[in-house]
Chain A
Amino acid sequence: MIRLNNIHKSYEMGSSSLHVLKGIDLHIEQGDFVSIMGSSGSGKSTLLNILGMLDNYDNGTYHLSGNLIANMSEKKAAKLRNEMVGFVFQSFNLISFKNAMENVALPLYYKGVPRKKRNLIALEYLEKLGLKEWANHMPNEMSGGQKQRVAIARALISQPKIILADEPTGALDSANSYEVMDILKEINDDGITVIIVTHEHDIAAMTSQIIRLNDGRIHEIIRNGELKKFQKSYIHGLETA
């Protein structure tokens, strides 16, 4: 599904250049539920942007569903994004002057789906996420959890293969965070690959694979048995708190 091979990325900051990713090798299968962890500056968001084709990489190769993603025109990238990837952001990033339904329907607009049809589909997705009554509300009339659910509906509407979530719970309280994670789990159960970036251990513990980044390199990948241990310690810690 996703195959990264020795990915390098550096940012030009005036005269100096900041080497953010220093050779990432990664292999994610269809249907995985992956979290990327790391301290700030470790390159986790940059990695996510490259995965989502929002940013270019300098060296290495990135294959998505067997296609090499490199030197694409903006237009092609936009099309591929629209087809393959759904984004969920920390700050929700809903369009403030559109109501919930219109926000959800927006990706279909770019695909050229007629208004009535896309609004109908948008309503379906809102219903799935329990927000049908909020369809005509503006983003500023909704709580953080509701906004994030609208954003997830928007990410899902174009039926992507991958959901990329950048700190999806970063701006939410724990109750809402768990709700959002439950939704992402359900999405994953439907066979969609979900990749989240987070720095919260309890959130990471709900995924099936944890990739720890450190200073632009993969420090460790936690799965299976080790994951159990990880989950035990963090979920336990949470319960006692």
Chain B
Amino acid sequence: MFDLDLWSEIVSALKKNRLRSFMTAFGVFWGIFMLVIMSGAGKALENGVLDGVKAFATNSAFFWTERTSVPYEGFQRGRRWNYETSDIDYIRDNVKEVEYLSPRLFGNNQAGNNTIRGERTGAFNVFGDYPDYFKIDRWTPAQGRLINEIDLIQERKVCNIGERVVEVMFEKDENPIGQYLKISGVYFQVVGVIHAETRINIGGGKKEETIIIPFTTMRKAYNFGNRVYFFSVTSKPGTKVSDLEEKLKTLLKDRHKIAPEDQQAIGSFNIEKEFVKFSALFLGIQGLTWIVGIGTLLAGVIGVSNIMLVIIKERTQEIGIQRAIGATPATVIKHIVAESVFLTVMAGYIGLSLGVGVLEILNQILLKGGDELFFRNPEINLTMALSALAVLVVAGIIAGLIPAKRAVSIKPIDAIRDEG
């Protein structure tokens, strides 16, 4: 039941005791404000890092070659070697756990400006890939299309280019689709401008400065023979990519006369392992947020109870007078508790709003920072915010109730005599 008289009494009592009200409210305000900011910052870090990797197939593994470290079957240690195109078919035919597989060739980007168009030149990272690669490390076409199977089979001289390539090689209002780029001496037609969905970089360089051409075209045009520099695979659902990684390593060692005990010759990593690390990290951060958050909240609550206790002591006389002129103990308790709850809720609400406001401002600033930041979208879980507020309300009731009970247990006459 809404009792207007009760509320106007409470508001006037609070208004007339500004400092006291402010001090009480500030403890709560600060507690919830800090909770919101901290939890938002933790979430922002999580969002920032996960945004960079979440589009990446978590069941993917990558392989490259290093010099051998163990002599084997007549070969000395320190041998340089490469995967071969025959490995692709062999793996496809014999390893059923593989879902997607994409070999990769690295183009020549040591020689400075490898890309020419009229009077424009640029140095970009050129890769020869299978279309399956787009399913492992997600790219989306901003314009045009992605490289497809037909490009691969017909060994078409087509390319997908990153956004930075467009900026450097084309006029502002020029449409790059259908135009030609001379890449290391060979002309390629641009069929798509592509945007990277992840910020995990394989093969070095910035993702916006990437040119991707069909694997088969690259092999033929630049005379790579049957060499393969790099493999990406994903495991089929139900298979652990770590297991697949080990299996493929053993198989590749066997096919290329590498000692089984050679730990160095095959370089590899899998995203699953990295994800586990990230997950553990964020679990840690969230746990910390909760611990510190609950601690801060508790400090706020204790602060409120403390101040309420002092206030009641200060108000003993006032309460005594009120009771002498006809206030029942229930009325007195109702007043004090309502005051306390009103204060905590108001302060909590302001803290919540202000905290969310600060996070929003932070978000706006971060948005201007671009894609490279590992800190984005600070946000707070609504349930968490509301439960924090609920805790405050309950705390407000208790914080009011304990001193109120104490206050009415004093005889009115003693209260009045208490010349504080």
Interface residues of A (CB under 8 A from B): 49, 52, 54-55, 74-75, 78-79, 81-83, 86-87, 89, 91, 93-98, 102, 106-107, 109-111, 114-115, 154-155, 158
Contacts and interface: CB of A to CB of B under 8 A. Distances in A.
Contact of A106 (B17, B325, B328): B325
B419 A87 contact: no
Contacts of B9: 109
B5 A98 contact: no
Interface string B369-411: 0000000000000000000000000000000000000001001
B280 interface: no
B330 interface: yes
A95 B416 CA distance: 11
Interface of B: 5, 8-9, 12-13, 16-17, 317-318, 320-331, 408, 411-413, 416, 419
B413 A106 contact: no
B333 to A, nearest CB: 11
Given A81-B324, A110-B326, A98 B16 contact: yes
B12 A89 contact: no
**Closest 6 CB pairs between A and B?**
A82-B326, A97-B16, A78-B328, A110-B326, A54-B413, A107-B325
Given A55-B411, A98-B12, A93 B416 contact: yes
A87 B325 contact: yes
A44 B85 CA distance: 112
A110 B408 CA distance: 16
Contacts of B329: 74-75, 78
A225 B255 CA distance: 135
B317 A93 contact: yes
A98 to B, nearest CB: 7
19 contacts: A54-B412, A54-B413, A78-B326, A78-B327, A78-B328, A81-B326, A82-B325, A87-B324, A93-B324, A93-B416, A96-B318, A97-B16, A97-B17, A106-B322, A106-B325, A107-B325, A111-B326, A115-B8, A154-B325
A49 B326 contact: no
Given A98-B12, A110-B328, A115-B8, A78 B323 contact: yes
Contacts, number: 71
A107 B331 CA distance: 12
A46 to B, nearest CB: 9
A240 B77 CA distance: 129
Q: Of residues A54, A75, A79, which shows the largest number of chain B Cβ atoms within 10 Å of its Cβ?
A: A54
Given A78-B329, A114-B5, A115-B5, A89 B13 contact: no
A79 B328 CA distance: 7
A113 to B, nearest CB: 9
Contacts of B419: 91
B370 to A, nearest CB: 55
Given A93-B317, A97-B17, 19 more contacts: A52-B324, A54-B324, A54-B412, A74-B408, A78-B328, A81-B326, A82-B326, A83-B326, A87-B325, A89-B321, A93-B324, A95-B321, A98-B12, A107-B326, A110-B322, A110-B325, A110-B326, A110-B331, A114-B5
A155 B325 CA distance: 8
Contact of B325 (A49, A81, A91): A81
A124 B87 CA distance: 105
A54 B411 contact: yes
Q: Of residues B318, B326, B327, B408, which shows the largest number of chain A Cβ atoms within 10 Å of its Cβ?
A: B326
Contacts of B8: 115
A151 to B, nearest CB: 10
A83 B328 CA distance: 13
Contacts of B325: 81-82, 86-87, 106-107, 110, 154-155, 158
Contacts of A83: 326
A91 B16 CA distance: 21
B24 to A, nearest CB: 15
Nearest to B14: A97
